[in-house]
Structure 1
């Protein structure tokens, strides 16, 4: 393995790399599908052949496009599948999760290279070295080595439980506003209406709310929980004021689509600003797509100008989006792979809130 090809990939031919990225977008769902099928039917030689072929094709695409990083990731997975096909190792849940994590990382790395983004947070060297170790491991060592790789790359042990969409058990504290409960009930009813526009959104509000409130609580509740709750209910309501063909669109958005979508925080914040007592919630909603480095929208604020509640909401909303972003192609993204992707986007989120959020996720997956 050429370490330089992993930690600092060279773009020999940008057009070829773009072709690899497009092919990977098509092939990754094949891997996801075949891994899920093989977990249920390990003895099925046809499914085994399909998964081997999908990985082999990714490796071949990478070689054709002279993308050495793609070869470095795909080759040891191909070796694992060859050993499984010959009966030398089993196909465990941990091995399946390792393969999916590796393909996720390859997608992120390819995008990062194309867009000249830093790669350090992807821990690609740990990934490739771990894959090579697993590809040579004895059958008894495979699961242990998979667990070691997953924790090295994601920062979390491979113990996964379901993310509950149930309402968090938090009492509503006393407030100076007599209509707080009625207002929150109204905000929640609007969120429910938003969720009803697509089956993909079912349970989304309560999942985001639970993560936001628990992240805030882990940090000592520096943000008024009521204001944060209202912001969670209302943050995407502005979408309902846009053409549905824009915000329910599957696939890539046009620049015109993106321009229209950037209006939604302002619409929702405007509604809250016109209701007495919800000024903080309005600010959270208005800023929840801002980024610390100034690359967010709608105002391009820097970290010092973004309120803490917006920083929390940005993280938990993105986590939910990552969990769902490939669902239209049948991709069953695990909690571990989603949190790994959030942690890899080190320029997008406020670093002071990543640690409390990670603590909440760690508690969730280890409980």
Structure 2
């Protein structure tokens, strides 16, 4: 699923955007109800958890309409809500204003993109607001009140960035969010999309990671149908892992997802999507693509787990997979996650017509569920279903 072009949506894309707004309106109304109740019960854990889930769902859905540049704002807001529900900070009416205005601006930016107009917040102001939100839990009460005022000023579309207070210190958050003018076209530039995705899940963007990101560009350039698949699979794998409490090292999982089909880049293009029609010699060549990549990655002591995930990502829990015919617990959790994501992403691609692919999305989910306990691990199928339910409108592409 490549990012939706919000400036020139076709009928299918318009349906996806409409789905987003339907979800958004429902989430916004739910949020308003929760915020009203929180005014009377600010310590209610169920309400705080519900508010956190609403913001998390909106944040995830933004990725599926290509607005990765907005994700840092929602991620920072989600982090604040997480600290509130964990008792690290008290909820109050000022935070209520911050939440409502953040969602208002989110809606305004999506509308502006659809109409090809300037949005209410520039990328630089989004970075400013996100950085201030991140500081809320690390400062005292007096400073927090002032910081919230600065956030609300930043959320005001009429305010100018140069007139806003600039107390946020340079640090890890500022370094991540202050991406400058070049970050504006994040939705169009695949490199920035991947970097936003890594940032979203807290994957360090060090020398190794950025080298691997560069390789991804070469992989996706080999086939038009592959363009956008890395972001899709990264989201599904990392979100499944997060839903399960990060059972797999997220850094290792991210690298495995990005590189698992690196070996495919060296195969004939006819083998990319037509393995079932390949002759035995070609099929044998295709089956070795994971081994080639895993062997290369295994030469680095740092990425042994990622290499194992790649090596095993075509294994089936009943032992019918390859290259080693592993079963059940002999297969790593990372490989089990990637096995599901790889299969789910490939199924809708069987149809070039997006409308057909959209109608067959649920069939793909059902087909995968029918192989639970055979091809796919039952625990991870349950997690997969939870993620699909949370984001189903935007998996239907």
| TM-score computed with the length of structure 2 as normaliser | 0.47
In 1, Cα distance between the equivalents of 2:234 and 2:210?
14
In 2, Cα distance between the equivalents of 1:256 and 1:280?
30
The one-character-per-residue Cα deviations of 1:106-152 (angstroms, maximum 9, x if unpaired) are xxxxxxxxxxxxxxxxxxxxxxxxxxxxxxxxxxxxxxxxxxxxxxx
In 2, Cα distance between the equivalents of 1:326 and 1:251?
16
Partner of 1:341: 367
For 1:259-278, list aligned pairs within 5 A.
Answer: 259-278=284-303
Shift of the 336–328 alpha-carbon distance from structure 1 to 2, 3 Å rule, reads closer
For 1:6-45, list aligned pairs within 5 A.
Answer: none
- Shift of residue 213, structure 1, vs aligned partner: 0.4
In 2, Cα distance between the equivalents of 1:366 and 1:330?
13
From 239, 244, 260, the equivalent of 1:235 is 260
On the 8 A contact 1:163/1:207 being kept in 2, the answer is: no
In 2, Cα distance between the equivalents of 1:226 and 1:250?
30
The one-character-per-residue Cα deviations of 1:151-178 (angstroms, maximum 9, x if unpaired) are xxxxxxxxxx8982653622236xxxxx
Partner of 2:388: 361
User: Which 5+ residue runs of structure 1 have no aligned equivalent?
Assistant: 1-35, 41-160, 174-179
On the 8 A contact 2:275/2:286 being kept in 1, the answer is: no
On the 8 A contact 1:290/1:301 being kept in 2, the answer is: yes
Partner of 1:352: 379
- Shift of residue 252, structure 1, vs aligned partner: 2.2
On the 8 A contact 2:309/2:332 being kept in 1, the answer is: yes
Shift of the 243–199 alpha-carbon distance from structure 1 to 2, 3 Å rule, reads closer
The one-character-per-residue Cα deviations of 1:310-337 (angstroms, maximum 9, x if unpaired) are 0000001100011212338984244323
How many residue pairs were aligned? 205
| TM-score computed with the length of structure 1 as normaliser | 0.51
On the 8 A contact 1:163/1:364 being kept in 2, the answer is: no
In 2, Cα distance between the equivalents of 1:250 and 1:238?
14
On the 8 A contact 1:218/1:356 being kept in 2, the answer is: yes
On the 8 A contact 2:275/2:283 being kept in 1, the answer is: no
For 1:116-265, list aligned pairs within 5 A.
Answer: 164=64, 167=197, 169-172=200-203, 181-247=206-272, 249=274, 252-265=277-290
Partner of 1:57: none
In 1, Cα distance between the equivalents of 2:300 and 2:309?
15
Shift of the 250–304 alpha-carbon distance from structure 1 to 2, 3 Å rule, reads closer
- Shift of residue 249, structure 1, vs aligned partner: 4.5
From 349, 352, 372, the equivalent of 1:327 is 352
Partner of 2:191: none
The one-character-per-residue Cα deviations of 1:266-324 (angstroms, maximum 9, x if unpaired) are 01101110123000000000000000111001111111211110000000110001121
User: Which 5+ residue runs of structure 2 have no aligned equivalent?
Assistant: 1-10, 16-60, 69-196
SS of the residue corresponding to residue 294 of structure 1 reads coil
Question: After TM superposition, where is structure 1 displaced by more than 3 Å over at least 4 residues in a row?
Answer: 248-251, 328-331
- Shift of residue 343, structure 1, vs aligned partner: 1.0
CA RMSD of aligned residues (A): 2.9
On the 8 A contact 1:293/1:348 being kept in 2, the answer is: yes
The one-character-per-residue Cα deviations of 1:214-250 (angstroms, maximum 9, x if unpaired) are 0001111010000000000110001123233333548
In 1, Cα distance between the equivalents of 2:383 and 2:275?
32
